[in-house]
Structure 1
């Protein structure tokens, strides 16, 4: 699993002082553009290629010192994008109904990364929080005795994260199924249907024609309650029935992100294991990060809707 490789690799690169140098470089460069620290910028950039646990794993030695607003940015960016391996899977699924599916999904992740920063800082402005200067960000203490020590301890940390991720995934999927089993016999509704109604105005705001909003909103609801894989699978199996080519493209961008309850559980579990001292902040920011990341994904959908003529 990728989390084991990233855990070991990040420990070795930290021991070799490569990661501190990259963090300091990003603090000087992108820091002027976004006003964020180098560690935060590195995590956001990495999210275009890796998942919401692997990206923070690259900066786990800096997580404890991040301002609360930047910690929120890291979490939102993790949920608003997809990893490279999932991109390949989803592109294969929707290739018959979305032209150049791989390119569209890559563009969606690239657009969603800055959109995540914007959505996060709008919900939680950083204000005048003091950040460490680039030199201080690079001046991290040595934590490992040797390269082999870094490799072994990094792998062990990654294994602990992997076990926590697996447990969280099982529990959150089971809780959603339990909630549906309790609600559906009484109301005839599922959580996915209720979420779909809530997404109708957002679908319309993204530029989807009113007669197609119900279908788009329903798939967005499935994405949040279950996951984006099920939404993409349904889009592929139905062939986008009832949706124009433009609406399918808007939906592809809006679905491109780990914005669901299971992913929030995985991310919170992983990040609290990396940085136990920030457990209270990470847990408190879990659900708000889902809201902000959903907004960021919808912003990506709205952007492609503006650029694509009806």
Structure 2
């Protein structure tokens, strides 16, 4: 209810909110979450998917060990950059291959088509919502680069909110090294629908049922050139994430120690108090709301990897329900840094549209955060 009320107050056109569309999207979320988390078959499927990604991480270790195997690492320990970030290179290569042989475009196109037929949120919106869960930012914007200059500000908001609410497939395996795989998989599906629900309330608009869109191919280059580009991009992504983690974790450590020295309470604890009412509304028990609220704030101010790293250290001290809620909440790109990625990506395609995105950037962050809250709340219903 909190998500719907805040979205409604932030709406640009409350009189024209399409409630039928929202109800359909919400019912889909309930069905998906119920089948995934409350049935034997769904739980088994999630376990198999998690096992598959863990297997991929094992395969990735072959390349990592070949390059970095000579490093001396303390027995029983691991290096985050090698065990969690470097496998992104291998996953990125697989995505490049699947994209080149047209498997991913086929899946995205027809999954988006089905989603549109069921929910009537628009062909472009449905396609983009699905593709963001696989390609991630900024690559996903290139698939609709011909459409972006023609979009009005409301439709532009929807696709950017979808991109910020999703995560790229290249990162899923890395997330599963830090939080339970079942929450990663469920959150990926629910976030697609959560972003559309929030966007339907914040920016309602009419959809042309007869609209057809042209999807632009990301690349028509030779196979090995494509593969090399994806591998290089994967490595750049891993290094970029590593650099951000060094900076953000050091900054949080500095703020915590500074606050402790001056007022004897850590910076993250203060943030926990600020966000604790939202955590409580999501279903977190009173004893866990400060810790969960702190993780929510950390993710918003830094990124999901920093918050997941903090969560690993407190998982044993949180209830099963709290772990389920915060784990699902963290699986998205909704943070301040991602605003810059969205704005820059759109601006590279259309200067005018990039200016629009910059103007509603805070509203965009609000929508993406509300989508994460909705996803976490739904998952918490089953614990």
**Do the two structures share a fold, i.e. TM-score over 0.5?**
yes
Per-residue CA deviation, residues 7-33 of structure 1 (Å, 9 max, x unaligned), is 9x99x99xx9x979x86x778643343
8 Å CA contact 2:272, 2:289 repeated in 1: no
Q: 1:213 to 1:56 in 2, by over 3 A?
A: same
Rounded Cα–Cα distance in structure 1 between residues aligned with 2:215 and 2:189? 30
For structure 1, the 5+ residue unaligned runs are 95-100
Tell me the matched-pair count. 278
Q: Which moved more, 1:52-61 or 1:199-208?
A: 52-61
1:64 lines up with 2:140 in the alignment: no
2:211 aligns with 133
Per-residue CA deviation, residues 141-198 of structure 1 (Å, 9 max, x unaligned), is x9x9x868xx99xx8xx99xx89xx7xx97xx68x959969x9598777775554333
8 Å CA contact 1:193, 1:218 repeated in 2: yes
TM superposition score normalised by structure 2: 0.59
1:207 aligns with 283
Q: 1:299 aligns with which of 358, 369, 374?
A: 374
2:192 aligns with 113
CA shift for structure 1 position 204: 0.7
8 Å CA contact 2:111, 2:127 repeated in 1: yes
Q: 1:89 aligns with which of 170, 174, 188?
A: 174
Rounded Cα–Cα distance in structure 1 between residues aligned with 2:184 and 2:157? 24
Q: 1:188 to 1:263 in 2, by over 3 A?
A: farther
CA shift for structure 1 position 138: 3.7
CA shift for structure 1 position 244: 1.0
1:214-293 equivalences in 2 (<5 Å): 214-241=290-317, 243-293=318-368
For structure 2, the 5+ residue unaligned runs are 1-88
Per-residue CA deviation, residues 267-286 of structure 1 (Å, 9 max, x unaligned), is 22122112323122111222
8 Å CA contact 1:27, 1:36 repeated in 2: no
CA shift for structure 1 position 217: 0.4
CA shift for structure 1 position 121: 1.7
Q: 1:41 aligns with which of 106, 126, 132?
A: 126
1:79 aligns with 164
8 Å CA contact 2:154, 2:203 repeated in 1: yes
CA shift for structure 1 position 103: 2.6
CA shift for structure 1 position 119: 0.8
- What is the RMSD computed on CA atoms of the aligned residues? 4.1
Rounded Cα–Cα distance in structure 1 between residues aligned with 2:113 and 2:169? 27
Q: 1:205 to 1:66 in 2, by over 3 A?
A: same
Rounded Cα–Cα distance in structure 2 between residues aligned with 1:32 and 1:198? 41
Q: 1:130 to 1:232 in 2, by over 3 A?
A: same
Rounded Cα–Cα distance in structure 1 between residues aligned with 2:94 and 2:334? 24
TM superposition score normalised by structure 1: 0.72
8 Å CA contact 2:164, 2:333 repeated in 1: yes
Q: 1:68 to 1:34 in 2, by over 3 A?
A: farther
Q: 1:53 aligns with which of 138, 144, 150?
A: 138
Per-residue CA deviation, residues 18-68 of structure 1 (Å, 9 max, x unaligned), is 979x86x77864334333332322211012223232222221221112232
2:33 aligns with none
8 Å CA contact 2:164, 2:334 repeated in 1: yes
Q: 1:35 to 1:195 in 2, by over 3 A?
A: farther
